[in-house]
């Protein structure tokens, strides 16, 4: 069922909105943290998207701008060496960014969740998945995966001996090299006045991007917070003998990233005592376990809305979303490495994401990680990524004022 029918795309109509205006000054002002001149960036992205979409009406919604003109550049980071269920699952998460691009033509251009904020078709402002560092990361990943998983099929007929201290050191070096490439790419994006995002890969893949963003915030005397969706807290000090594991990423972020005011972890339902200690020891770390949210999610209505506001409350104005797909319930994270039952639904997670914008905060960057490369996995991953890119654009002031007439529900 991997092959999908390419649907007729409503985007043939979208260019009619080409000359519509940009949004309110307040939001645009807020995002000067990342983009020195938001309306210039939006104009450039929109012109580029207009040209590409006129040439190809069936273009993927996530590839409507050139790398030079995109307002949101989503950097593919095909790193999955630290997946811990490596031996048990087919190793495919590093292939996810390409599979998402292959799948994306089935996604239509209007995001009905964003319409209420005045942005119906994010893609018309120019979106690009950037593979400029993918080959480099992939080759580092290949070597690290064999060293980290000596008993997997990857290691060949004879297998490898158990992890030696030398192997562990080499894995850390390979990770530093890959993560360094990500960090450089993001510093470049920020220097050029663009917004960035990461397509993983496992959860260790966006570390360099978050580090670059923290440094960027610090250089402007600003701070930021991370909203993490995840089944796991990722607060291990080391895992599988290495400190660069996906299970350690938030510990590394809290330890090393500049200008970080808060990490809000949502959907957590699998932790160990070491992670709980790390959580208790750092007042910047906030945790909304799946159990905390259960009552509110069952009650729905005003109680759920209160819970959504409480999740976003500890975050400062500038927000980075780190979205591990296993934060969602099993049917929404097919093919992920470490699935855990009891997660958020796609709609619940959407409510929380929209609250960033609704509360007046600005989504400055994001990563979508641990997405399985199966058709069902990428189907969720690519839509989530498109929504997040749209939220980033909203923060810049992108508006097209598309409308849907609201039916009366009750």
> Residue numbers of the site for Mn ion (CB under 5 A)?
203, 230, 234, 324
> What values do phi and psi take at 269, rounded to 5?
-150, 10
Give CA separation, 306 vs 39, 235, 252, 286, in Å.
Answer: 34, 27, 31, 16
Q: Within a 10 A sphere around the Cβ of 246, how many other Cβ atoms?
A: 31
Nearest distance from C-beta of residue 321 to Mn ion, angstroms = 13
Q: Position of tokens 């087919």?
A: 90
Contact 114, 120 (CB under 8 A): yes
- Smallest distance, Å, CB 300 to Mn ion? 27
203 versus 286: smaller Cβ distance to Mn ion = 203
Nearest approach in angstroms of CB 153 to Mn ion is 24
Least gap, CB of 248 to Mn ion (angstroms)? 10
Residue 233 contacts residue 250 (beta carbons within 8 Å) = yes
The residue (of 146 and 333) whose beta carbon lies closer to Mn ion is: 333
- Closest separation between CB of residue 81 and Mn ion, Å? 15
Nearest CB to Mn ion, comparing residues 80 and 234? 234
Question: Is the backbone peptide bond immediately before 352 cis, with ω within 30 degrees of 0?
Answer: no
Structure tokens at 387: 């929504």
Q: How far is the CB of 230 from Mn ion (least distance, A)?
A: 4
Q: Are 263 and 226 in contact (CB under 8 A)?
A: yes
The answer to whether 107 and 380 are in contact (CB under 8 A) is no
The residue among 111 and 329 lying less far from Mn ion, judged by its C-beta, is: 329
Cis peptide before 201, with omega less than 30 degrees from 0? yes
Among the residues of 282-345, which ranges form H helices? 290-299, 301-312
Q: Where are the alpha helices (DSSP H) in 115-164?
A: 134-148
Closest distance to Mn ion from the beta carbon of 203 (Å): 4
319 vs 396, which CB is nearer to Mn ion? 319
Region class of 202: left (phi > 0), else alpha (psi between -120 and 50), else beta: beta
């Amino acid at each position: 069922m991997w092959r999908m029918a390419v649907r007729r795309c409503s985007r043939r109509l979208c260019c009619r909105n080409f000359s519509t205006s940009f949004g309110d000054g307040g939001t645009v002002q807020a995002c000067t943290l990342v983009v020195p001149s938001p309306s210039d960036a939006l104009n450039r992205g929109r012109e580029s998207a207009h040209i590409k979409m006129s040439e190809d009406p069936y273009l993927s919604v996530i590839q409507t701008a050139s790398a030079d003109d995109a307002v949101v550049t989503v950097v593919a980071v095909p790193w999955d060496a630290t997946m811990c269920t490596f031996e048990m699952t087919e190793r495919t998460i590093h292939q996810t960014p390409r599979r998402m691009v292959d799948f994306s033509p089935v996604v239509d251009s209007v995001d009905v969740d964003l319409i209420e904020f005045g942005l119906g078709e994010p893609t018309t402002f120019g979106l690009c998945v950037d593979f400029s560092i993918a080959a480099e990361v992939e080759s580092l990943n290949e070597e690290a995966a064999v060293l980290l998983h000596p008993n997997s099929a990857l290691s060949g007929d004879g297998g490898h001996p158990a992890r030696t201290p030398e192997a562990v050191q080499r894995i850390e070096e390979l990770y530093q090299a890959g993560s360094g490439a990500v960090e450089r790419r993001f510093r470049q994006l920020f220097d050029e006045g663009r917004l960035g995002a990461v397509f993983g890969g496992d959860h260790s893949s966006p570390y360099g991007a978050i580090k670059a963003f923290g440094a960027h915030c610090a250089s402007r005397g600003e701070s930021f917070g991370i909203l993490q969706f995840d089944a796991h807290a990722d607060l291990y000090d080391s895992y599988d003998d290495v400190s660069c594991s996906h299970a350690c990423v938030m510990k590394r972020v809290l330890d090393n990233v500049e200008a970080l005011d808060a990490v809000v972890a949502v959907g957590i339902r699998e932790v160990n005592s070491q992670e709980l200690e790390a959580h208790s020891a750092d007042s910047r770390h906030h945790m909304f376990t799946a159990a905390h949210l259960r009552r509110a999610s069952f009650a729905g209505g005003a109680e759920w809305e209160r819970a959504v506001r409480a999740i976003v409350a500890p975050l400062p104005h500038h927000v980075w979303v780190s979205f591990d797909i296993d934060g969602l319930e099993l049917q929404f994270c097919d093919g992920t490495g470490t699935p855990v039952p009891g997660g958020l639904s796609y709609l619940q997670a959407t409510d929380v994401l929209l609250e960033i914008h609704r509360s007046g905060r600005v989504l400055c960057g994001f990563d979508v990680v641990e997405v399985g490369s199966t058709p069902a996995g990428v189907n969720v991953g690519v839509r989530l990524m498109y929504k997040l890119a749209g939220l980033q654009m909203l923060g810049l002031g992108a508006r097209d004022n598309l409308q849907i007439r609201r039916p009366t529900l009750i």
